[in-house]
Chain A
Amino acid sequence: MNRQSSSIEARILIAGFARGSALVLDDSLSFWGGFDPSNGEIIDVHHPQYQQLVGGRILCISESRGSAGTPGGIAETLRNGSGPAAFILGERDVNISVGTLVANRLYDLEVPVIEVSLSVMKQISSGDQLIIDRRGVMLFDAE
């Protein structure tokens, strides 16, 4: 299968349109304590993507970890413009989804959250150009 032309139906957790470059996280992450919402930087020293910035990227992550503070970290990074353009999750993660929903609502944003299978997640590499449409279809962007 030519990956560049494939489109994948994902499960919509929060609907929206986004286009951008993928950033794949190799481990779960707590968005409280492991992430700086003021600038969108991963600050968990044990994390494989330590010091990477998530701003504008389509963030691919299995799930969030730990603290009840994750939704707040997500909402704050989206509020101040340092957050991802979209989330692609490997699990149905309520914390990431609720943080995104609240930010979308309060700040009139359209950041989607979708869930894909592990096999789809494995096809995505950091730097891939992706499109997520409002019906929850994910495309590898040929542009």
Chain B
Amino acid sequence: MQLNALDQDRLDGKLGKAMQFAMETIVAAAHIDQADALIDISFAHIDACFYNGRAHLDFVNYMLEHGATLAVPSWTNNGLVSLNDLSVRDPLASREMHEARELMRAYVRLGCNPVWTCAPYQLPDRPGLGAHIVGSESNAVSFYNSVIGARTNKYGDYLDVCAAITGRVPFSKLHRDEARAAELLYDVSAIPKQIRANDLFYHLLGHIIGRRSAHLVPAIVGLAADCNEDDLKAISAAGSSSGSVPLFHAIGITPEAATLEISFQGRQSLRCIELTVNDLCQARNELGQNTDQALAGIALGTPHFSYTEFEHLVELLAGRSIRPELVFYLTTSRHVLQQVELQGWAESLQQAGIRIITDTCTYFSPVVCGLQGKIMTNSAKWAYYAPGMLPVDPLIGSLQECVESAVSGEVVLDQWVVE
């Protein structure tokens, strides 16, 4: 690979040791990816602020001690703890939690914008169509590529930071036009319209696509023209949990898929899979069984709850309260919480018995207070990951089903896909 003069200076250490380390890592990644060039990026979403052992702290401290600065606007993903609410996961309870907080502070010192969210695309000033960026958290990578049409591979920890420091990434995979063509088609038109209008449908669809697409880029035909970003967020998150779907196209909806021909870049589909209600039932069963066990709580906001999701929640709750024996957690970003506070919704939801948490999420360990036993969630991602890390038995439902269950104290499901 041919490096330009500035990249060569970076690699030779002429711009300091932190830059040298970052550039070595980018060049190594380019070699592994067999990329023949590097390109500029305009934005990075940083995942390395999520604590995963002492090495994370050693890495960022090395960068800070050797004078690292960031070349592009860099926003932080969730942390393991909440800096706003230390009672969510107590930083004094263990060395790990203490280091998790230190790690988050280190990324603020490095110059990151501390948005602490896995749904950075819900905030203003997001990257646009065709922008080369660095995404890291899997749902955000999928949303940026699919829904916004920005271009990113899934950058793991350290590579995200090295890209933000150098402003460069290998010109490979989803940064290139040809890798963005659809290869596999899902047709959902046979599924009754009222089911396709339900928010749970998008989570189940994402779960199915993640399971079945292997490494192919999927396209979906038959989605309602008015499906919104919350629905597309659900597909992004669910598809990136049950499988690896860093890019999907929704025909007539997402920006690189005005038509079938455009999304496939003129090529033929390898396969067309027609989905039915049975597929949705199966997906729902895979994401948790409704056993006789008593309901213990509700977890919403994976990925972080949006302003419009708050709006629906307030409507559905209609002034009622959560049963006091249940826990009800809702995770969101500081930015969205601020908007919601302006409407007076945060206060009314809290009074109803909902605990709103920022900066982190509830599906990973250590478990947040009281979250055990049978937990209902509207998120396929939460239902997929939580049982591996927490003492929970998840059950997935629509937002309405979650709300009705929370108010009555027992699981309330609609008739469809219950079987």
From A38, A76, A94, contact of B156 by CB (8 A): A94
Known contacts A73-B53, A92-B33, A106-B62: does B155 contact A33 (CB below 8 Å)? no
Q: Is B43 an interface residue (CB 8 A)?
A: no
Q: Is B267 an interface residue (CB 8 A)?
A: no
From A13, A32, A98, contact of B52 by CB (8 A): A32
Q: Are A71 and B28 in contact (CB under 8 A)?
A: no
**A69 — which chain B residues lie within 8 A by C-beta?**
47, 50, 52, 156-157
Q: Is A57 an interface residue (CB 8 A)?
A: no
Q: Is A24 an interface residue (CB 8 A)?
A: no
Q: How far is the CA of A94 from the CA of B29 in the complex (A)?
A: 6
Known contacts A67-B138, A105-B21: does B388 contact A37 (CB below 8 Å)? no
Known contacts A79-B58, A101-B25: does B244 contact A70 (CB below 8 Å)? no
Q: Is B34 an interface residue (CB 8 A)?
A: yes
**A95 — which chain B residues lie within 8 A by C-beta?**
156, 159
What are the interface flags for B45-71 relative to A under an 8 Å C-beta threshold, 1 for contact and 0 otherwise? 001101011111011001000000000
Least CB separation from A44: chain B residue? B388
**A97 — which chain B residues lie within 8 A by C-beta?**
28-29, 32
Count: A-B pairs, CB below 8 Å = 107
Q: Are B244 and A80 in contact (CB under 8 A)?
A: no
Q: Is A68 an interface residue (CB 8 A)?
A: yes
What are the interface flags for A27-48 relative to B under an 8 Å C-beta threshold, 1 for contact and 0 otherwise? 0000011000110000011000
| B47-102, CB < 8 A from A | 47-48, 50, 52-56, 58-59, 62
Q: Is A75 an interface residue (CB 8 A)?
A: yes
Q: Is A102 an interface residue (CB 8 A)?
A: yes
Q: Are B136 and A68 in contact (CB under 8 A)?
A: yes
What are the interface flags for B1-43 relative to A under an 8 Å C-beta threshold, 1 for contact and 0 otherwise? 0000000000000000000010011001101111000000000
Q: How far is the CA of A107 from the CA of B58 in the complex (A)?
A: 9
Q: Is B307 an interface residue (CB 8 A)?
A: no
| B271-286, CB < 8 A from A | none
| B361-385, CB < 8 A from A | 364, 385
Main secondary structure of the interface of B (DSSP, over half): helix
Q: Is A112 an interface residue (CB 8 A)?
A: no
Q: How far is the CB of B43 from chain A (nearest CB, A)?
A: 16
**B190 — which chain A residues lie within 8 A by C-beta?**
none
Q: Are B388 and A45 in contact (CB under 8 A)?
A: yes
Known contacts A33-B385, A99-B158: does B53 contact A79 (CB below 8 Å)? yes
Known contacts A76-B56, A101-B28: does B159 contact A71 (CB below 8 Å)? yes
Q: Are B157 and A72 in contact (CB under 8 A)?
A: yes
Q: Are B28 and A76 in contact (CB under 8 A)?
A: no
Q: How far is the CA of A105 from the CA of B20 in the complex (A)?
A: 12
Q: Is A58 an interface residue (CB 8 A)?
A: no
Q: Is A19 an interface residue (CB 8 A)?
A: no
Q: How far is the CB of A95 from chain B (nearest CB, A)?
A: 4
Q: Are B47 and A68 in contact (CB under 8 A)?
A: yes
From B25, B50, B56, B388, contact of A98 by CB (8 A): B25
Known contacts A37-B53, A73-B52: does B58 contact A106 (CB below 8 Å)? yes
Q: Is A54 an interface residue (CB 8 A)?
A: no
Q: How far is the CA of A92 from the CA of B24 in the complex (A)?
A: 17
Q: Is B224 an interface residue (CB 8 A)?
A: no
Q: How far is the CA of A13 from the CA of B158 in the complex (A)?
A: 17
Q: Is B401 an interface residue (CB 8 A)?
A: no
Least CB separation from A31: chain B residue? B52
Least CB separation from B173: chain A residue? A94
Q: How far is the CA of A93 from the CA of B158 in the complex (A)?
A: 14
Q: Is A66 an interface residue (CB 8 A)?
A: yes
**B138 — which chain A residues lie within 8 A by C-beta?**
66-68
Q: Are B155 and A68 in contact (CB under 8 A)?
A: yes
Q: How far is the CB of A107 from chain B (nearest CB, A)?
A: 8
Q: How far is the CB of B418 from chain A (nearest CB, A)?
A: 26
Q: Are A79 and B54 in contact (CB under 8 A)?
A: yes
From B62, B155, B244, contact of A66 by CB (8 A): B244
| A58-94, CB < 8 A from B | 65-73, 75-80, 92-94
A–B complex contacts, Cβ < 8 Å, 24 sampled: A66-B138, A67-B138, A68-B138, A68-B157, A69-B52, A71-B157, A72-B52, A72-B53, A72-B55, A72-B157, A75-B53, A75-B158, A76-B52, A76-B56, A78-B55, A79-B54, A92-B34, A94-B32, A95-B156, A97-B32, A98-B29, A99-B157, A99-B158, A106-B62
Where the two chains meet, the residues of A that have a C-beta atom closer than 8 Å to any C-beta of B are 13-14, 32-33, 37-38, 44-45, 65-73, 75-80, 92-95, 97-99, 101-103, 105-107
Contacts beyond the supplied A67-B138, A93-B32, A98-B28: 7 A-B pairs with Cβ under 8 Å: A70-B156, A79-B58, A94-B32, A94-B156, A101-B25, A106-B58, A107-B58
Q: Which 5 pairs show the lowest CB-CB distances between chains A and B?
A: A76-B53, A72-B52, A75-B55, A95-B156, A76-B55
